[in-house]
Amino acid sequence: MTVSGLKSNITAKTIPHILVFTGDEWKVQQLYIRQISKVLDMPTARLESAADVLSKINKSSLLRTPYIYIVSNDKEYVNEEKLQEAISKEIGNNYLILQYNSVDKRTKFFKTFDYVEFDLLSDEMLMKYIRREIDLSDKNCIKLIEACEHNYGRILLEIDKIKQFQSACSKRNKEKKSYDACFLQLLNEGAIYQPAKDAIFDFVAAVLDRDLTAFDLLKQSFAVGEAVMVMLSVLYNNARMVYQVQTCTSNDISKATGLTGWQINNAKKHLNVYTDDDLLYLLSVIRKCEKGIKTGVIDEQFVMDYILVQML
């Protein structure tokens, strides 16, 4: 199902009771979930796993309180056909939205459920959305889009920063500063988000090549002020692409994995350095570290060294 197809279903209130959302544009996914909740007049509940959903469905059927359940990256559910069948049978008036960073299009899981891929939005669409919030010139809209790597959620965060800066300037100088002027000042001062620098990509390439120079490149990344969470995100995305290409048995890798030609060629540079299991382990370690940092269980100061020791 396309995003436009989902939009039509929402308008017609013919929304499938089980949906799979994937793709890079998580903010747009959230907007659609919010719209589905509004149209159905139904609350949402985010759960850890699909197995938890089944338990909740049984309880909600007794209480007659339907929910839209949301589960993110439940890898086990993809292969749990009995659980899939049980939820499909018991779903009733409830809804389930499964969010995945990516889905293997070769699997039965992909072919069973209504699957919607949220790709990054076009420049034209992003410019339209930016101008709903602030009045920026075409040139500065493109600068903002490129700085945020076409990520709509990140663009909204930077727009909020620009709005707050303009408000502060107006109060201080008693004169309203244009959004263009505010954006350029923040950009020149380094206050606007900047994409990962070359040091990160060199570091990630070294990790994927199992090259010990990764330790020196890690120091270089820290020296230029790269954030640990950004480094984890770049490493995860690249390792995931290597795993997808390495395990793909189709002649048409792009069609099977959803990756672009550039992503495939980049991933091919690092094939068979790690086993499939090693790559899965790396991905799980990164996710564990990200969660640990967010919950305060892990000190981010030691995270990258920990990953290097585990993998190299």
SS3 track for 228-282 = HHHHHHHHHHHHHHHHHHHHCCCCCHHHHHCCCHHHHHHHHCCCCCCCHHHHHHH
> How far is the C-alpha of 245 from the C-alpha of 223, rounded, in Å?
32
Range with the poorest average pLDDT among 34-38, 125-129, 171-175, 209-213: 171-175
Residue 131 has pLDDT above 90, yes or no: yes
Residue 196 has pLDDT above 70, yes or no: no
The share of the chain scoring above pLDDT 90, in percent, equals: 34
The gap between the terminal CA atoms of the chain, to the nearest Å, is 41
Mean pLDDT calculated for residue range 263-280: 90
Helices 179-188 and 138-147 pack at an angle, to 10 degrees, of 40
The pLDDT of residue 231: 87
- Residue 23: CB atoms within 10 Å: 19
H-helix or E-strand spanning residue 72: strand 68-72
Q: Give the pLDDT confidence of 247-259 residue by residue, as tens digits.
A: 998 888 888 888 8
> How far is the C-alpha of 312 from the C-alpha of 308, rounded, in Å?
6
pLDDT tier for residue 10 given thresholds of 50, 70 and 90 = very high
Domain spanning 3-117: CATH superfamily: P-loop containing nucleotide triphosphate hydrolases (3.40.50.300)
pLDDT tier for residue 61 given thresholds of 50, 70 and 90 = low
The pLDDT of residue 76: 80
Mean pLDDT calculated for residue range 243-272: 87
The pLDDT of residue 43: 92
Which CATH number is associated with domain 198-311?
Answer: 1.20.272.10
The pLDDT of residue 195: 65
- Residue 274: CB atoms within 10 Å: 21
Task: Provide the β-strand partners of residue 183.
Answer: none
Mean pLDDT calculated for residue range 155-176: 86
CA angle 225, 221, 187 (to 5 degrees): 40
Q: pTM for the full model?
A: 0.59
